[in-house]
Amino acid sequence: MWDGERPFNNQQAGSVYDELYARYLESDDVVVPPTPRIVTYVEALVRRYPDDADGSVVWASPPVIDEASGPMVYLLMSYSKAEEVCEYAASLAREHGLVCFDPQGECLLP
């Protein structure tokens, strides 16, 4: 998910994703606090799918907020819950005015 203008198509979204990921998430050298909109989104997401439970079957790398930097959050979900959580996460992203892109499927989610 990221805070920004929605790209016109999947190809453009992939380019934006790659750029944002490289800038905000790839490097451990630069720490950028998540933007308020991303923080609010993550807080809403973990209210539904808590990330502090021992043995969480939802999140592959809790806490979720640790995967946020600047205007972006990268959600690492367990395979068994990915479909369910992805649908909710995409819907919640729309409510929060965020762009939802699936990097594995290389597509924007509605």
Entry pTM: 0.91
Strand-pair partners of 102: 107
At 48-93, the pLDDT tens digits run 999 876 666 789 888 999 999 999 999 999 888 888 899 999 999 9
**Taking a C-beta distance cutoff of 8 angstroms, is the pair 71, 2 a contact?**
yes
Q: What is the CA radius of gyration of the chain?
A: 13
DSSP 82: H
**29 φ/ψ angles, rounded to the nearest 5 degrees:** -70, -35
Q: Hey, what amino acid is at 101? A: F
Confidence band, pLDDT 50/70/90 cuts, at residue 31: confident
pLDDT at 56: 67
Q: How many CB atoms lie within 10 A of CB 41?
A: 24
**Percent of the chain's residues with pLDDT above 90:** 76
